[in-house]
Structure 1
């Protein structure tokens, strides 16, 4: 059986799919009755959904539906008023962001956050920080153990860069890349954390059509080749319908639909939420 080629490579090119180094069996993400209130305003109202292991689960809805609030709770930025978020055996709602990251949850924000003057390689190395065992003193003195560990991490960075199609840009300043490639670099940096769950906040926003197609192919490859679960917030419904295995729709903080993309797309409540009552009729 032939291996899946890297999304960053043309068909027939050498396979650059990274190994699943550091990735154990991926657990499910189970969100139950998640409620968030701010000074009396209910941003999320008893929202529930389950992200099955190794799938792309889209969370969509009109502006102000509660998507960003949901993401902020999943990543530890916001605290839930009530409800539960379990990732395997771990309850996430009481954990700070760095503890959630240590459990294998990586988030990519909508806005770019790459150090513009650092090389792409060094930017991706930031994703290896939580996996680094060498102490500050050993690294500063360039002891042999530190040098060996650095070499292993950089080899992994090159492998992941090739997977997303950025192997030729590793020496360039991250800020000099076109916008679409900067977004891919952020995805690669998240993959360098060896996550089990990726939270992608509008990963194709602001891209050209070609950049959207390329990024969508990489995201599909993350699921198909690496088995990583993905929670996706995205306004591009074409991308959502092509990528998602399941979709949860929010409106005014409440879940109004949940299921397969085709079923959700034709749900009358979803049509009304996006188009309004009169247009839907």
Structure 2
């Protein structure tokens, strides 16, 4: 059975370009596959894709979406030629349907940078099929946990589930150390390590009541991939990234 990973994807494409502010994260992403086993395929839930209904990439050879702005020319020449998996897309849709969750397979959607930046560092050979699952633009914490719960069987089928976001995502606060960010990070780590699924679920549904929640996430799209990962898990989380990122406390989590 494969673990589940929620990771910080970094600032745009910068982790791929030896940017000093991203160096610790880059090293983490390169080394984390040693903890993950050998997946047959990967499902990525990225903070950078939202739809009215949860949507799944269905293309055999998805293109890259350079969904960032203001970076150098090389940032728009990145290549990552991982294959898609139409069969896995159908399997994900089937599992969601069993739990009463409607979804759409999008055969035209490409890979956004929430997928290709971290995965290019983790699996540079691009030899593992990858699909993406979108967030719901309702931003419902409960719905995203339910999506994860519906996908639990994938762990037994050789699929690595990766949530790609940032545990702190307040663009105006990056670069300035803050007690507020540390308070939210402490709450998040303690909550995910509590070991009791139902009480943790309740806390994550009401995450915006946590200390400094809206300071850490004025909008929650970078947190919700974590809710999907949690829903797919049955164990407490292990903290696998615990560091200062752009002067702000950021964490990554692994569920075995």
* TMscore range, shorter length: 0.3 to 0.5
TM-score (norm 2): 0.34
TM-score (norm 1): 0.31
